[in-house]
């Protein structure tokens, strides 16, 4: 089989133009896309958040405790003494005051500007694009919220968040408001725990929690296309190997191999091994060259690069399986040109849904899920997870899927491989 492997490597090497295209074109595209699309996937530090929230306060906080006591006596059957004691105990949990304190905390006020105004003015400023959203505190909110926390009934008055268009900015504001409500509810629950009457109740605090379980990572254009372009051109490589099989059929090379009494599957195995070697070298070359020119993966350890080599090996294995299936189809069809067109169509489809042509996140969710089952889509998943976590689990499960993809295609290639005398 060594002769077959050598033959296929020499066939590819002698086509210097195609070899240079396979190696240099992905690197050139990565460089061009990196500068052309610079900032599209940049770090948050380069584009800091600047959110503007208008708060319309319609609540009468001065009357809230009086209203609360009356509700407890009239609706919850509290005695006046008990209602007064409970109201005084809940005084520290004034939700409106805590809401303003939450948005004025050091962590949140750096990127959220809060402005108090009436509802008409707030609506106009949202229409003019000066505000990202409006938070309306309805009349009776304080009394209703505190009453609900005591009795467990659903509050009659709730915060209302109003927006003009659904954007990332007002989604962030919405999540911040939900975070405040969750923390406030937790404080209410804590105040009702038996034995916690004398506990100090803390107002909800805003902020951003940094979880140190993995390396902070934001996918940049250079990093994204260094991964996807390598995978895309590796797919084209599988099609190219199959196309060259068509050339061998035209030149009677396949018939001469059969006459030599070589085992039929040696030809197929030679295609697979040579494709694996070519894909492995191409993927490594693209990543190393991109990293050298654009510093794609700065300050990474030797173990990180060892993991990348394992990932490259798994991807090259799946590409080798794809070339086996393509090669067997080439040997069976009558019209080689039609087969070559089919191979390129399959590669383009795999490349598109795997994120090779456009960033995968702009595709519909159902198409993204399908793309994660393609070799290049799985490559993107493994690379991203490995860069973030550098754990064995980052490679293990997707790696097994790539091995399964390889075995499936090898079986298909062997089943489709024509018996002696049946090649077209």
At residue 225, does pLDDT exceed 70?
yes
* Span 293-313, average pLDDT: 87
CB within 8 Å of 337: residues ≥ 6 apart: 246
Mean pLDDT of 173-177: 83
| pLDDT tens digits, one per residue of 53-95 | 889 988 887 788 888 888 888 887 888 888 888 777 776 677 8
Query: What pLDDT is attached to residue 295?
Result: 83
**Higher pLDDT residue, 331 or 40?**
331
Model pLDDT, residue 351: 86
Residue 234 scores a pLDDT above 80: yes
Q: How far apart are the first and last CA of the chain?
A: 23
Range with the poorest average pLDDT among 191-195, 196-200, 235-239, 273-277: 196-200
Look at residue 314 in the predicted model and tell me its pLDDT.
Answer: 92
pLDDT of 125 strictly over 50: yes
Per-residue pLDDT band for 251 (boundaries 50, 70, 90) equals low
Decide if 218 contacts 279 (C-beta within 8 A): no
Q: Has residue 255 got a pLDDT over 70?
A: no
Backbone angles phi, psi at 368, to 5 degrees: -60, -40
pLDDT at 407 over 90: yes
For tokens 């489809």, name the residue.
349
Give the up-direction half-sphere exposure of residue 328: CA atoms within 13 A in the CB hemisphere.
Answer: 22
Structure tokens at 91: 């005084």
- pLDDT reading at 107 higher than 90: no
Distance separating alpha carbons of residues 375 and 108, to the nearest angstrom: 42
Least confident of 220-229, 295-304, 339-348, 409-418: 220-229
For the cut 70, the answer to whether the pLDDT of residue 253 exceeds it is: no
Listed residue (192, 170, 165, 187) closest to 99, CA to CA = 187
Task: Quote the CA–CA distance of 376 and 349 in Å, as a whole number.
Answer: 11
Bigger pLDDT: 249 vs 351: 351
**pLDDT reading at 337 higher than 50:** yes
Residue 125, number of CB atoms within 10 A of its CB: 17
Query: Reduced to 3 states, what is the DSSP secondary structure of residue 54?
Result: strand
* DSSP category for residue 156: S
Above pLDDT 70, what percent of the chain?
A: 81
CA distance 135 to 119: 9
Per-range mean pLDDT, top range of 4-18, 232-246, 316-330: 316-330
Q: What are residue 116's phi and psi, to 5 degrees? A: -90, 135
User: Is pLDDT above 50 for 194?
Assistant: no
């Amino acid at each position: 089989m060594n002769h077959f492997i050598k033959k296929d490597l020499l066939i590819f090497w002698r086509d210097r133009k195609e070899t240079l295209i396979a190696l240099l074109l992905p690197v050139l595209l990565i460089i061009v896309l990196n500068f052309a699309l610079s900032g599209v996937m940049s770090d948050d530090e380069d584009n800091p958040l600047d959110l503007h929230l208008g708060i319309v306060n319609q609540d009468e906080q001065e009357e809230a405790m009086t209203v609360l006591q009356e509700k407890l006596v009239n609706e919850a059957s509290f005695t006046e003494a008990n209602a007064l004691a409970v109201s005084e105990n809940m005084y520290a949990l004034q939700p409106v005051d805590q809401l303003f304190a939450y948005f004025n905390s050091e962590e949140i006020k750096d990127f959220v500007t809060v402005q108090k105004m009436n509802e008409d003015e707030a609506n106009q400023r949202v229409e003019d694009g000066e505000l990202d959203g409006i938070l309306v505190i309805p009349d009776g909110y304080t009394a209703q919220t505190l009453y609900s926390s005591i009795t467990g009934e659903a509050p009659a008055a709730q915060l209302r968040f109003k927006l003009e268009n659904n954007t990332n900015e007002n989604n962030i504001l919405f999540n911040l408001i939900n975070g405040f409500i969750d923390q406030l509810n937790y404080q209410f629950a804590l105040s009702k725990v038996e034995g916690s009457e004398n506990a100090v109740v803390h107002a909800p605090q805003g902020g951003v929690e940094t979880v140190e379980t993995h390396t902070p990572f934001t996918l940049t254009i250079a990093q994204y296309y260094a991964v996807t372009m390598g995978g895309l051109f590796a797919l084209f490589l599988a099609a190219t190997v199959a196309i060259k099989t068509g050339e061998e059929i035209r030149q009677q090379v396949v018939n001469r191999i059969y006459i030599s009494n070589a085992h039929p599957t040696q030809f197929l195995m030679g295609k697979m091994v040579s494709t694996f070697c070519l894909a492995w070298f191409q993927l490594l070359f693209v990543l190393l060259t991109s990293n050298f020119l654009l510093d794609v993966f700065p300050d990474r350890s030797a173990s990180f690069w060892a993991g990348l080599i394992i990932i490259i090996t798994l991807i090259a294995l799946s590409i080798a399986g794809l070339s086996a299936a393509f090669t067997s189809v080439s040997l069976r069809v009558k019209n080689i040109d039609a087969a070559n067109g089919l191979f390129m169509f399959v590669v383009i489809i795999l490349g598109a849904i795997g994120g090779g042509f456009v960033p995968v996140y702009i595709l519909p969710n159902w198409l993204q899920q399908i793309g994660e089952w393609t070799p290049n889509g799985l490559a993107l998943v493994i690379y991203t997870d490995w860069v973030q976590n550098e754990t064995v689990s980052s490679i293990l499960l997707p790696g097994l899927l790539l091995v399964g993809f390889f075995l499936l295609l090898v079986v298909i290639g062997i089943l489709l491989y024509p018996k002696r005398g049946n090649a077209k």
